[in-house]
Chain A
Amino acid sequence: MILTLILLPITAGVAMLGIRSAVVRRCLLMVVAAVHAVLTACAWAHSPAPVLDGWLLLDAPGLLFLGITSALFLVVALYALGYLNREDWGKRQDFEEGFLFSNSRESVFLCCLLLFLGMMTLVTVSQHFGLIWVAVEATTLTSAPLIYFHRHRRSLEATWKYIMICSVGIALALLGNFFLAVASTLSENSHVPMLVSRLIQSAPQLHVLWLKAAFLFLLVGYGTKLGLAPMHTWLPDAHSESPSVISALLSGALLNCAFLAILRVQQVCVAAGQGDFGRNLMLGFGLFSMLIAAAFILQQTDFKRMLAYSSVEHVGIMSLGIGVGAGYGAMLHAVNHSLTKGMLFLVAGNILAAYHNKSTRDIKGVLTVLPFSGLLWVAGFLAITGAPPFGIFLSELTILKVALDQGRFAVAFGYLLLLSVIFIAMASIVFPMAQGAPSGLPTETSSDTAIAAVGRESALAIIPPMVLCAAILVLGVYIPPVLQHVLKQAAVTVGTF
């Protein structure tokens, strides 16, 4: 079943290249997404057997992140249907600089999309550090063409930065893998295989110094992919220039994959008695990421960049959560953040489609122009900043409680301070956009005709974010027992509570 989960999207992706009918392609996309989701659900119900000598195995963290990825992908695929329908496939004008550009071919786009899903699935099920590395690098490569979907200068720049920085980062992670291999070399002829479970078993025998060095390299390497500051620099560019569908997946699913990769190393560290070493580093990176995110969300002029920096903030929170030992909170936060950020990017796509503008200073009156999207935009803001009854409130509270229970007052202070600053900064951007009389619309006539020109919101653009909104609302007041169980298991796996 695990193999099916990986191979299904890959084969379907390759097949995409050969399908000429747009309808069939889109149907295939939906079918794959749905089947993938159903298989994932089955995996949640009954843990599937390990394959390839335990290289591919679904443990609790993997199950959790696979679940997020699959669910988000299903919703995003639904949105993508509407998105691809809306897209104008000919040459058209860029709304910022005015030059002409076109899109890459839909078949390539969908192919990469499915390959991307396959690679992310591979990350979640891999137990071998080498395989994890291969899969993570593969996600970078398959997602690069997705970012360059709109073929214009800015997206090209973003893609370039994305490949360059992430490749360098991942290369460092490869070195980290080798270091880990050195650490696991017991003598000339005996070494521990690079499987997570085996390394944990023989963790006491590992070479501490090499293990630490390996952790540093892997943290910085995968941290680049995860978007921890100061390695996050590619993230705002890639998220703002890619289509919203892709931004949602990058933020909601891809970051988690990198996070999972770091958690795997942390697992080994904890088993080797070096848990505090890893935790302190993650704590530092977490706080620094929040600080950087706060600085750049403040007076941000591009709302998609704002969301991207918010992702930096939230990976910071997740990292900080692991850092203070709040594994449960961090895992819950990963779930909440993925769904919330996915929803926000989808709504941002709707706003962008109506306004043809990304400037937070020009756009006004979203609530009037796009009543549903506006409402979701405001709700998403509240959710992402941790207002109840949305899920992030609970995860942030849990992390705070652990931090204070550990007596880490300075950390708790910084955490709350930065959360507040970010809340204020985002509120100063989101509400002026949502409220007031409409302005910033593409047609410079009276607001009534401009609103009429935008027309009513289509169901395919509204239902996916609504579904996500409902999900985070539910997670804010009710955590299903099955999820609760997996979260607790995952927290135990990474050596926290």
Chain B
Amino acid sequence: MTHMELWIDILIVLLILTNLKLMGSSRLSACIRTVALQGILLGALPLIAGHGQIPFRVVILSGVTILLKGVVFPWLLLRALRTSNTRREMEPFIGYSTSMLISVGLIGLAMWMGGRLPLPVPLKSPLVVPLALFTIMTGLLAIVSRRKAISQVLGYLVMENGIYAFGLTLAQKEPMLIELGTLLDVFMAVFVMGIAIFHINREFDHIDTDLLASLRD
């Protein structure tokens, strides 16, 4: 194991831990910070994986990623949190300890699936694909199991992070325009969601999604 691969593995383990932390904590501000950390780590991933000689475009992309995921999104969300006077995720559909347990199970599933998908080109670390899958699943789990609208946005972000992790390490040859477009879209999505949370807060005086269940059959 080379020096660099070690660093990659450490990064991956850290990313996995951020996921677990997210599933285990009830304080929303802490969750947001965790996601911010995850974004920064993610942004750093291609820089470390780059064999020393890092192309300019990777630097730019990493910079934009760290800026957006580590700074802009958390800032947006923290603002929304502050206006809504919400501190904690109360009574999620799936409890914290259960969520942790499920997360552990999901790691196993991700490992299995990663093993079923042999990559055409050998990777720096065999953990990347499982990590990406696990992060995506964590994000989905957060969306599914939490009540607060903000938690769901966080879940979406985590999921996006997972996809990004996959993309950054596997498909570096993507044209930059597309990468930027993708990032822009994610940004817009979070922005629009933030606006929506603002309106939800104004309309219902809190950001629980419980009241957002009147349209049904």
Contacts and interface: CB of A to CB of B under 8 A. Distances in A.
> Within the complex, are A and B direct neighbours (CB within 8 Å)?
yes
A100 to B, nearest CB: 12
A182 B163 contact: no
A319 B182 CA distance: 27
Contacts of B181: 130-131, 134
Interface stretch (A63-71, A235-243, A273-281): A235-243
Interface stretch (A10-18, A167-175, A368-376, A471-479): A167-175
A152 to B, nearest CB: 8
Interface string A129-173: 011011001101100110010011110111111011001100100
**Most interface-central of B170, B196, B209, B213 (chain A CB within 10 A):** B196
A164 B157 CA distance: 11
Given A130-B182, A141-B185, A178-B167, A156 B203 contact: yes
A148 to B, nearest CB: 7
A128 interface: yes
A187 interface: yes
B136 interface: yes
B155 to A, nearest CB: 8
A188 interface: yes
Contacts of A138: 185, 188
Interface in B148-164: 149, 152, 156, 159-160, 163
A156 B199 contact: yes
A153 B214 contact: yes
A154 B214 contact: yes
B118 interface: yes
A240 B215 CA distance: 9
Interface residues of B, number: 42
A164 B163 contact: no
A175 B163 contact: yes
Interface residues of A, number: 50
Contacts of B117: 209-210, 213
**Most interface-central of A130, A183, A209 (chain B CB within 10 A):** A130
Contacts of B173: 181, 191
Contacts of A210: 117, 120
A134 B179 CA distance: 9
Interface in B169-217: 170-171, 173-175, 178, 181-182, 184-185, 188-189, 192-193, 196, 199-200, 203-204, 209, 211-215, 217
B182 A134 contact: yes
A241 B159 contact: no
B182 A171 contact: no
B175 A137 contact: no
Nearest to B160: A171
B211 to A, nearest CB: 8
A296 B217 contact: yes
A35 B175 CA distance: 32
Contacts of A174: 163, 167, 182
Nearest to B178: A130
Contact of A185 (B120, B149, B196): B120
Interface of A: 128, 130-131, 133-134, 137-138, 140-141, 144-145, 148, 151-154, 156-161, 163-164, 167-168, 171, 174-175, 178, 181-183, 185-188, 191, 194, 207, 209-210, 213, 236-237, 240-241, 296, 300, 305
Given A156-B203, A181-B174, A183-B120, 12 more contacts: A128-B178, A134-B181, A141-B189, A153-B214, A156-B196, A160-B209, A160-B212, A167-B189, A171-B160, A174-B167, A185-B121, A186-B120
The 6 closest A-B pairs by CB, nearest first: A130-B178, A181-B171, A134-B181, A237-B215, A137-B185, A157-B212
